[in-house]
């Protein structure tokens, strides 16, 4: 492989532009995006109070991450270099908001965000002081189990890129069974697991070497030297430990990741160049054909109009079929929650009702308010819990559409081979299925007209039993109604995403056909220029 992949990308880009090889635009864009995204994730795991956040603050040079707090399970914090200090919260529904770095505690600590009521997926922090770790994104985690259990967008986004895992272990006690279990689990995801033995400043010199010896020995029993240990302390006087970590681990990890990234990029650029050559070969062969043959070529390669219409129809049907099935699938998913949701609300009603019996109007008002809040909470939780299932029809359709387009490409390759003696091997760049945002959950006022008519005149003492039974029935009705509503909200969201997918896939097909048609139309006088460009592509 000669030349840099970036040069190759640029040459390919120029040729795509000049010959209007519009079809390769998607591939080119995906190569460029890959060339830009060059961060390696270094995730810090470990038990609560092991010193994870303190360690990252020490690297940051500022106490921006809250320490000594109970973290919210499932919320992670990413820390990396940025030219300006800035922070951002990403929410589970996909939207993001900038915050001041001093507000991070409001989102990542259990006290300020109990049970993740704020629906946070992750927090991102960029700091100029991380310049020396350019290319590395450190991830502060609440603990492995919680991160893996909650299959959040946040963890699925960064886990595949976890180049390095650091397991923080406090010296007191050093390496519990839990830590060993953690390392074992992590080893499934990354070959690079290291132990960060924190707070070594709290030990006298002889104690410290005892503890280090113990940890080495324990790890050696399971992993035979493959899990290195780095002692660490955030206290003054221990700066050399940070130097050691930088040199032995982080610097190496970064170059290692850089090489791997470059290798993948070279591979991508080479495939792009090969596809570009394929297109230019088509142009050259066409240019070398007699004028009279060219009209026929088009038909032999692209096929007749009816066949193309059929392919378009197939794409349309895949998307429409997915959209049509979504509603009943969603209702079925949610139907399973109906009984437990009702039961939870009825239990709540049982507890609340005695405090509402002053008068019928008070009871109705309180009931309305209480039920609205309860149902909103329940629906929001269901929407979140099933988000993955709701998105599935879109993801499946996206895979099927990509496959159909690839099938079309394979047919095209066969036909160009037959007609021109050169195959056109091209790959379908995956359709980007943008995961849509979750719908807004708001339950409106729950009016009860019949009851309002009688309300004020009748003494409550006579009615208590009847009112309560009536409320219980209302709970069941309102839950049923709102489950249907949630299913239809998701249907709408997914339907819109599928429509975009349908349009995108047809646009891809049309772009491909237009590209081929354009190249087949190359005239005899273009041939020398095309040969020159093919040589150039070969030489970079
Ligand atoms: N003496 C000492 N204390 C530390 C060190 N690192 C962290 N701590 C303390 O350990 C406690 C827990 O730290 P924290 O970073 O919040 O742990 P996390 O839950 O793993 O993020 C805090 O009170 C820190 O001050 C260290 O290197 N030396
Ligand atoms: Mg912490």
The residue ranges of every structural domain in the chain are 38-235, 294-536
Element (H, E) at 195: strand 193-198
Residue 416 in this model has a pLDDT that exceeds 60: yes
172 lines ligand 1 (CB under 6 A): no
Calculate mean pLDDT across residues 419-448.
Answer: 74
CATH code linked to domain 38-235: 3.40.50.300
More confident: 178 or 442:
178
Backbone dihedral angles phi then psi of residue 498, each to the nearest 5 degrees? -70, -35
49 lines ligand 1 (CB under 6 A): yes
CA pair distance 57, 181, nearest whole angstrom: 26
More confident: 321 or 250:
321
pLDDT, tens digit (0-9, with 9 covering 90-100), for 352-405:
999 998 888 888 889 989 998 999 889 988 988 898 899 999 989 998 999 999
Helix (H, G, I), strand (E, B) or coil at 85: coil
Calculate mean pLDDT across residues 217-226.
Answer: 85
Residue 169 in this model has a pLDDT that exceeds 90: yes
Convert 276-301 into a string of H (helix), E (strand) and C (coil): HHHHHHHHHHHHHCCHHHHHHHHHHH
Give how far Cα 354 sits from Cα of 363, 367, 464, 465, Å: 9, 11, 9, 11
pLDDT, tens digit (0-9, with 9 covering 90-100), for 474-503:
999 999 999 999 999 999 999 999 999 999
Report the nearest-CA residue for atom 5 of ligand 1: 199
Q: Which range has the worst mean pLDDT, 16-30, 40-54, 174-188, 263-277?
A: 174-188
Report the nearest-CA residue for atom 4 of ligand 1: 199
Calculate mean pLDDT across residues 31-60.
Answer: 86
Query: What's the CA-to-centroid distance between 199 and ligand 1, angstroms?
Result: 7
Say what the pLDDT of residue 2 is.
Answer: 46
Convert 56-81 into a string of H (helix), E (strand) and C (coil): HHHHHCCCCCCCCCCECCCCEEEEEE
Helix (H, G, I), strand (E, B) or coil at 359: coil
Query: Which of ligand 1's atoms lies nearest the C-alpha of 68?
Result: 16
77 lines ligand 1 (CB under 6 A): no
Helix (H, G, I), strand (E, B) or coil at 125: strand
Residue 435 in this model has a pLDDT that exceeds 70: no
39 lines ligand 1 (CB under 6 A): no
Say what the pLDDT of residue 151 is.
Answer: 47
CA pair distance 149, 1, nearest whole angstrom: 43
Q: Which range has the worst mean pLDDT, 25-39, 56-70, 149-163, 504-518?
A: 149-163
Query: What's the CA-to-centroid distance between 132 and ligand 1, angstroms?
Result: 23
Q: Which range has the worst mean pLDDT, 21-35, 90-104, 119-133, 456-470?
A: 456-470
Calculate mean pLDDT across residues 308-326.
Answer: 95
- The distance from CA 109 to its chain's CA centroid, rounded to whole angstroms, is 23
Q: What is the DSSP letter of 189?
A: T
Percent of the chain with pLDDT over 70: 90
Say what the pLDDT of residue 505 is.
Answer: 95
Say what the pLDDT of residue 160 is.
Answer: 53
Contact at 8 Å (CB) between 282 and 520? yes
Q: Torsion over CA of 400, 406, 407 and 409, rounded to 10 degrees?
A: 150
Residue 446 in this model has a pLDDT that exceeds 70: no
Report the nearest-CA residue for atom 1 of ligand 1: 199
Say what the pLDDT of residue 146 is.
Answer: 57
Say what the pLDDT of residue 448 is.
Answer: 62
Q: How many residues does the chain have?
A: 540
Report the nearest-CA residue for atom 19 of ligand 1: 49
CA pair distance 213, 229, nearest whole angstrom: 10
Q: What tokens were used for 55?
A: 């360690």
């Amino acid at each position: 492989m000669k030349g840099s992949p970036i040069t190759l990308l640029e040459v390919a880009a120029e040729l795509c532009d000049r010959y209007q090889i519009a079809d390769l635009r998607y591939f080119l864009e995906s190569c460029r995006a890959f060339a830009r995204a060059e961060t390696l994730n270094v995730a810090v795991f470990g038990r609560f109070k092991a010193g994870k956040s303190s360690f990252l603050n020490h690297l940051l040079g500022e106490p921006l991450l809250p320490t000594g707090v109970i973290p919210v399970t499932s919320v992670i914090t990413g820390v990396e270099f940025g030219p300006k200090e800035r922070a951002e919260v990403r929410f589970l529904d996909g939207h993001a908001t900038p915050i001041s770095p001093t507000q991070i505690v409001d989102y990542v600590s259990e006290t300020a965000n109990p049970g993740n009521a704020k629906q946070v997926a992750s927090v991102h922090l960029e700091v100029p002081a991380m310049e020396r770790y350019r290319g590395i994104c450190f991830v502060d985690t609440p603990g492995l189990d919680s991160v893996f259990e909650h299959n959040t967008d946040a963890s699925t986004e960064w886990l595949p890129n976890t180049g390095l895992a650091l397991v923080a272990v406090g010296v007191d006690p050093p390496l519990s069974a839990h830590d060993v279990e953690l390392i074992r689990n992590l080893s499934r995801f990354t070959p690079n697991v290291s132990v960060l033995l924190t707070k070594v400043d709290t030990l006298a010199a002889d104690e410290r070497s005892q503890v280090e010896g113990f940890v080495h020995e324990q790890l050696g029993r399971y992993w035979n030297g493959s899990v290195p240990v780095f002692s660490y302390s955030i206290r003054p006087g221990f700066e050399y430990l940070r130097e050691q970590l930088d040199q032995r681990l982080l610097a190496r990890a970064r170059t290692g990741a850089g090489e791997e990234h470059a290798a993948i990029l070279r591979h991508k650029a080479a495939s792009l160049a090969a596809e570009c050559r394929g297109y230019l070969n088509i142009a050259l062969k066409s240019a070398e054909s007699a004028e009279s043959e060219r009209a026929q070529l088009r038909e032999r390669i692209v096929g007749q109009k009816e066949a193309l219409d059929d392919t378009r129809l197939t794409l349309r049907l895949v998307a429409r079929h997915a959209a049509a099935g979504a509603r009943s699938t969603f209702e079925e998913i949610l139907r399973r929650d109906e009984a437990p949701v009702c039961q939870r609300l009825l239990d709540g009603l049982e507890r609340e009702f005695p405090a509402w019996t002053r008068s019928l109007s008070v009871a109705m008002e309180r009931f309305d308010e209480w039920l609205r809040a309860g149902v909103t909470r329940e629906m929001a939780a269901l929407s979140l819990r099933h988000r993955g299932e709701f998105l599935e029809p879109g993801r499946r359709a996206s895979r099927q559409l990509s496959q159909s387009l690839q099938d079309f490409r394979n047919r095209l390759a066969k036909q160009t081979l037959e007609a021109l003696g050169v195959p056109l091997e091209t790959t379908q760049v995956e359709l980007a299925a943008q995961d849509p945002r979750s719908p807004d959950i708001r339950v409106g006022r729950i009016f009860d007209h019949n009851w309002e008519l009688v309300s004020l005149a009748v003494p409550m003492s006579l009615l208590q039993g009847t009112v309560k039974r009536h409320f219980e029935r209302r709970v069941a009705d309102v839950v049923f109604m709102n489950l249907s509503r949630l299913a239809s909200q998701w249907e709408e969201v997914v339907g819109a995403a599928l429509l975009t997918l349908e349009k995108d896939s047809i646009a891809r097909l049309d772009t491909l056909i237009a590209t081929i048609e354009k190249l087949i139309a190359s005239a005899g006088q273009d041939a020398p220029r095309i040969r020159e460009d093919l040589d150039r592509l070969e030489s970079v």
